[in-house]
Amino acid sequence: MAVRAQFENNNEIGVFSKLTNSYCLVAIGGSENFYSVFEGELGDVVPVVHTSIAGTRIIGRLTAGNRRGLLVPNSTTDQELQHLRNSLPDSVAIQRIEERLSALGNVIACNDYVALVHPDLDRETEEIIADVLGVEVFRQTIADNVLVGSYCAISNQGGLVHPRTSLQDQDELSSLLQVPLVAGTVNRGSDVIGGGLVVNDWTAFAGLDTTSTELSVVESIFKLHDSQPSAIVNDMRDSLIDNYS
């Protein structure tokens, strides 16, 4: 199910949080309401970790990760790194990366199997991504934007990309990722998808300005309807009708 949230009156929640299938990072210092939204949805399933990266709160833009690993920029302090190692599950590998394009969340978009990266990323960084996250790496642009992490959100179920992405590009990206894609917006027409939306295989969080139409597109492409009580009730009703007919 998709949920709306806001970080200190800011709708760009993808800037202040990072969500995967095995952990969730949220920036320190925001209102308690922001954390409670995440902890309410995820608390029993995956750890919700409060952290900063390089002393800043823009953790969603500085980090990249999936259920197997987390990549952090070279500017991450030893204390932050140790805190992450202590808080995240042992199965998650954490790697600090020496990279010129240090906002890793802007230049890497990944799910548990494939990563799309900025065309100018270092060859060495590309190898680390493949190694730590256990993914295939493709250098790509989205609607001619090199910041692939900013202009799309992908999970193992589907993906949302920049509204100006051509059909040809969508087909190409979809065949690389092996998931269905749709072009769309969040936060009432914002094309910075990665900034306004975080998603994993069973839930999504979008900025508070996101319209119900945008939210329904998100729920449909990421196949989040199944986790809604209404879907379960409908399934039960169908099966009851089948039994008694």
The per-residue pLDDT for range 42-93, each reduced to its tens digit, is 888 899 999 999 999 999 999 999 999 999 999 999 999 999 999 999 999 9
Side-chain half-sphere of 90: how many Cα atoms within 13 Å? 0
Cα–Cα nearest to 196, from 5, 67, 38: 5
Provide the pLDDT for residue 119. Answer: 94
Provide the pLDDT for residue 153. Answer: 95
Provide the pLDDT for residue 243. Answer: 58
pLDDT beneath 50, residues of the chain: 228-233
In DSSP terms, which residues pair with 186 in a beta bridge? 190
Cα–Cα nearest to 98, from 67, 121, 82, 65: 121
Cα–Cα nearest to 133, from 89, 91, 176: 91
Provide the pLDDT for residue 32. Answer: 79
Provide the pLDDT for residue 244. Answer: 59
For 183, phi then psi, to 5°, come to: -90, 135
